[in-house]
């Protein structure tokens, strides 16, 4: 699948990894629909110019994501939605039992699962239904879906029960989704980032960020959003990448 002249839906595109991916795909000649809850998505689409459209949408809403998929099909001028890079997500931290002995809040747990896991399924199902209608390209390919997991799916830390479980769900959907969508010529991949310099991570105190950077075997720094975007671009380009989760983490293993 080539980026040039194809149209991609990017969720979580107002910020961080999604914003960087939108920028890279436009620079490579693609068209992008930027979808995000935040209205900052409009300014980012304006910066990217004519090849992009912004749409406010919540990844947990069927109607709003269908509208984003429809916007991408329209922007494609007849070629259809070629790919999705699904970056929308939230981080959450809560202990099962806090210092005062209170149990964790169940609504907060549900919210993380809804956005990160159910939201991913929602985006996949609507995108895949649109892609299945595309004309087949080389090898019968019709589309590619790239989800965003996290190394917390494998190395969850204290307080990450909700976040780790949500991302482990994203990891484990990759293979069954890829197997099922193979008959439509749609690939499914996931990227599991380590620690990246994005607004999501900016809430961590400087000292903690430095300690995290020092614990990366190589390179000893946080990842840059464009490094995520470059991997997403390679996954789009390389038809043999399917049904797999790629850690992008400099070799870090969380304790
Ligand atoms: N930054 C990291 O170190 C890191 C590491 C591992 C995984 N991730 C994952 O990467 C993805 C992107 O994270 P980021 O670091 O770019 O964070 P970010 O906070 O910079 O961007 C996330 C974007 O998602 C949007 N969003 C949140 N909930 C949404 C919803 N319900 N519907 C639509 N949009 C919604 C936010 O408005 C925001 O613009 C997330 O899934 C995150 O869990 C990030």
Q: Residue 234: give its domain's CATH number.
A: 3.40.50.720
Query: Positive or negative CA dihedral for 100, 106, 110, 111?
Result: negative
How would you classify residue 159: left for phi > 0, otherwise alpha for psi between -120 and 50, otherwise beta? left
Q: Are strands 186-193 and 81-86 parallel, antiparallel or unpaired?
A: unpaired
> Ligand 1: does its nearest atom lie under 6 Å from the Cβ of 250?
no
Q: Phi, psi at residue 87, to the nearest 5°? A: -115, -10
**What pLDDT is stored for residue 149 in this prediction?**
98
What range defines the domain where residue 193 resides? 7-200+226-246
Helix (H) or strand (E) holding 26: helix 16-27
What pLDDT, on a 0 to 100 scale, did the predictor assign at position 160?
Answer: 95
Please choose, from the candidates 65, 63, 73, the residue with its C-alpha nearest in 3D space to the C-alpha of residue 8.
73
Q: Is residue 128 part of a domain?
A: yes
Measure the N-to-C terminal CA separation of the chain; round to a whole number of Å: 38
Q: Is the pLDDT of residue 204 over 80?
A: no
**Structural domain count of the chain:** 1
52 within ligand 1 shell (Cβ under 6 A): no
- Tell me the CA–centroid distance for residue 138 and ligand 1, in Å: 32
Pick the atom of ligand 1 nearest to 38's CA: 37
CA–centroid distance, 26 to ligand 1, in Å, is 20
Q: Quick: pLDDT tens for 159-169.
A: 999 999 999 99
Q: In angstroms, rounded to a whole number, what is the distance separating the alpha carbons of residues 241 and 239?
A: 5
Q: What is the pLDDT of residue 205?
A: 79
Residue 60 Cα: closest atom of ligand 1: 31
Cα(114) to centroid(ligand 1), Å:
14
Instruction: State phi, psi for 243 to the nearest 5 degrees.
Output: 65, 25
Q: Is the CB of 28 under 6 A from ligand 1?
A: no
Interval between CA 201 and ligand 1 midpoint (Å):
10
pLDDT at position 36 is 98
Active site residues per annotation: 163
């Amino acid at each position: 699948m080539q980026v040039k002249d194809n149209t991609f839906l990017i969720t979580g595109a107002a910020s961080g990894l999604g914003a960087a991916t939108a920028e890279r795909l436009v620079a490579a000649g693609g068209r992008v629909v930027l979808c995000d809850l935040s209205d900052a998505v409009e300014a980012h689409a304006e910066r990217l110019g004519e090849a992009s459209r912004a749409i406010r949408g919540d990844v947990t809403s069927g109607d709003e994501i269908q509208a984003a998929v429809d916007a991408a099909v329209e922007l494609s001028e007849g070629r259809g939605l070629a790919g999705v890079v699904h970056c929308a997500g939230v981080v959450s931290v809560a202990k099962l039992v806090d210092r005062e002995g209170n149990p964790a809040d169940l609504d907060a747990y549900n919210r993380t699962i809804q956005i990160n896991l159910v939201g991913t399924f929602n985006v996949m199902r609507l995108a895949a239904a649109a892609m299945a209608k595309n004309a087949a390209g080389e090898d019968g390919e019709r589309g590619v879906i790239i989800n965003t997991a996290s190394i917390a799916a494998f190395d969850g830390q204290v307080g990450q029960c909700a976040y780790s479980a949500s991302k482990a769900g994203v990891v484990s959907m990759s293979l069954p989704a890829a197997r099922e969508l193979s008959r439509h010529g749609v690939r499914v991949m996931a990227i599991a980032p380590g620690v990246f310099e994005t607004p999501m991570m900016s809430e961590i105190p400087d000292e903690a960020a430095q300690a995290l950077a020092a614990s990366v075997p190589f390179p000893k720094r946080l990842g840059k959003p464009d490094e995520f975007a470059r991997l997403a671009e390679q996954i789009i380009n390389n038809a043999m990448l399917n049904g797999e989760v790629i850690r992008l983490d400099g070799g870090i293993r969380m304790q």
